[in-house]
Chains A and B, each alone.
Chain A
Amino acid sequence: MIVVAVAFLFPVYALVTLSLKDPRQIAASPLGPPTSPTFENFGSAWERASFGTALLNSTVITAVSVAILIAVGSFAAYVIARWQTRLGYGLYVLFLLGIVLPFQLGMIPLFTMVDDAGLLGTYQGMIIFYTGIQLPFTIFLYTGFIRALPSDYADAALIDGAGHLRAFSQVVFPLLRPITGTVLILNAVFIWNDFFTPLLYLGGSDRETIPVRIFSFVGQYVSDYGLVFAGLVLAALPILAIFLVLQKYVIKGFSSGLKG
């Protein structure tokens, strides 16, 4: 098993060692460990890729989109899960359609709409986009989970005179913690790493996210492996760090998702 893990990590090994070497060390021995590791590539990459701004942009867009998705998605899933009527089922299928449709189908009409609304190159434009396209998946996860929950707690609160809003936010929503964890992680990862649409909508503006910046950065410095890899490491660090911290919730989220 250990052998498998080591072999598996070879690309990561190459990534890290090359990012720590200067061009001369790379030419001398591409695959060996660095003889005198240097962090110069990282500083250089940070500056040349305008990494600080990109980091801010990615964070804002991801955080706000995920928050909205959790709020809006859970409410909608609650309706779908509880309304066991043809209407409820129809609504569910309508949202599931979104998982199957390839994004290229509506890509250009949507782009024109966003352009006409003056939302290109803005945070709002991207946030609305992500909310829309990730709702199907979010609702799918939430619905499955809510269906498995007994309705007794919410019913009790309602009978006691609480309004629906209160019943949901104070009784049901806290019970959704495991699946909210999953929803949060999976959506955050997808949005953070998304490349093509930010390229279209944010390209050339000062709101570019990390994947877009890294793409042009790699294109520009492609033959300087050390610099390029330092850039890739920088780009991957934030999401890896969050994952390491929250990994227990991710795994738990998967197991609860399976039962649904």
Chain B
Amino acid sequence: MSMVQISDANLLADLSDQAWTQKIPENFRNAYQNKGRTFIYSAGSSVIGAIYNKKVFTEAGVAPPTTWPEFLAVCEKIKQAGKVPIALGAQTQWVTQLITYALVPSTVYVKDPDFDQQMAAGKASFADSGWVQALEMYLDLQKRGYFNDDPNGTTFEQQTSMVGTGKAAMAIQVSAVLPDFRKAADNEDDLSMFVVPGADNAADVWIPAGIVVGVGVSARSKKLADAKKFIEFLGEQKNINAWSEAVACVPFVRDSSSRIDPLLEPFLPYMENNKAVPFMDQAWPNAEVQPAHFAVVQELLGGKTTIPEALEKLDDTYRKS
């Protein structure tokens, strides 16, 4: 269930009178607010990119790519060097959406920045958009053998461990899981991130970036005042900084002591130049579309469906509300 659904049912406490809510950047407001009132707190945004093992890259003689053809070439060289180019843990369902999300900003939103509004108005559909191209690129990676064997039988933890121990070169992941990768790595400094170039030329690459998780207060809580005080505490700059550091996200408001994880450096220019798109599911009207996306990706990876059928299913589920 989404924040919108729960707040519409009057189950979330209104946090609009807290000071930090005034500092929410314009283009993030939709994630925090419903009908102009703030209901959840989130320290900042995460990005989706490729978390990679620098040692494996060096040994294979490759460097982070800036265009899609370069990306394919990098994967090929890593494969020739005997390592798994991209670790994919598709058995853990939320992992399946990440590669699509990494590519869709470049294949869809560069040309149609208001794609979400068009879909809501019924003037656009998944099946008739850059989503087709994104899924084709996704499956192309599988066809070329750049994923590990049996992605549908591999879990997120196994994927993490493969990259951390150098069995695989990279995993396309959300930056919020950097702490997990660091724990699984032989050596934390082996890890770094680069932007997944979903387009043929670097200028047309956009990235997915946005709020991943939020904290709200139940309107029926027996300790309402205390809970709200805690959120206010979280809203203090020094705590925003602390949380952001812990989960490697970009704080939504910064001051001089905000430290952004160095691995996120490559992504900042995109966020500052409006080349970042919030995670797609946040604009979807009901809670069934996202799980349907997970399921069709697993079906595509397992060869059980085709891209047109998969996107038709997504469209049908979208229209269900």
Q: Do chains A and B touch in the complex (CB under 8 A)?
A: yes
CA distance A222 to B91 in the complex (A): 14
Closest Cβ neighbor of B180 among chain A residues: A223
Measured between C-beta atoms, what is the minimum distance from A121 to chain B in Å? 13
Chain A residues within an 8 Å CB radius of B158: 223
Chain A residues within an 8 Å CB radius of B160: 223
Closest Cβ neighbor of B183 among chain A residues: A223
Of B157, B160, B161, B184, chain A has the most CB atoms within 10 Å of the CB of: B157
CA distance A222 to B160 in the complex (A): 12
Interface residues on A, range: under 10
Chain B residues within an 8 Å CB radius of A222: 155, 157
In B17-45, which residues have CB < 8 Å from any A CB?
Answer: none
CA distance A223 to B160 in the complex (A): 10
Closest Cβ neighbor of B155 among chain A residues: A222
Chain A residues within an 8 Å CB radius of B157: 222-223
Measured between C-beta atoms, what is the minimum distance from A118 to chain B in Å? 11
CA distance A222 to B154 in the complex (A): 13
CA distance A223 to B158 in the complex (A): 7
Closest Cβ neighbor of A224 among chain B residues: B157
Closest Cβ neighbor of B184 among chain A residues: A223
Closest Cβ neighbor of A221 among chain B residues: B157
Chain B residues within an 8 Å CB radius of A223: 157-158, 160-161, 184
Closest Cβ neighbor of A223 among chain B residues: B157
Closest Cβ neighbor of A27 among chain B residues: B165
Question: What sequence of 0s and 1s flags, for each residue 272-308 of chain B, a beta carbon within 8 Å of any chain A beta carbon?
Answer: 0000000000000000000000000000000000000
Question: What sequence of 0s and 1s flags, for each residue 48-76 of chain B, a beta carbon within 8 Å of any chain A beta carbon?
Answer: 00000000000000000000000000000
In A200-238, which residues have CB < 8 Å from any B CB?
Answer: 222-223
In B225-239, which residues have CB < 8 Å from any A CB?
Answer: none
CA distance A54 to B155 in the complex (A): 28
CA distance A51 to B157 in the complex (A): 24
Measured between C-beta atoms, what is the minimum distance from A20 to chain B in Å? 21
CA distance A223 to B165 in the complex (A): 13
Chain A residues within an 8 Å CB radius of B155: 222
Closest Cβ neighbor of A222 among chain B residues: B157
Chain A residues within an 8 Å CB radius of B184: 223
CA distance A116 to B242 in the complex (A): 38
CA distance A223 to B154 in the complex (A): 12
In B67-108, which residues have CB < 8 Å from any A CB?
Answer: none
Chain A residues within an 8 Å CB radius of B161: 223
Closest Cβ neighbor of B92 among chain A residues: A222
CA distance A223 to B184 in the complex (A): 10
CA distance A223 to B155 in the complex (A): 9
Closest Cβ neighbor of B160 among chain A residues: A223
In B162-196, which residues have CB < 8 Å from any A CB?
Answer: 184
Closest Cβ neighbor of B161 among chain A residues: A223
Task: Enumerate the 7 nearest inter-chain pairs by beta-carbon distance, A residue then B residue, closest first.
Answer: A223-B157, A222-B157, A223-B161, A223-B158, A222-B155, A223-B184, A223-B160
Give 7 pairs: A residue, B residue, CB < 8 Å, sorted on A.
A222-B155, A222-B157, A223-B157, A223-B158, A223-B160, A223-B161, A223-B184
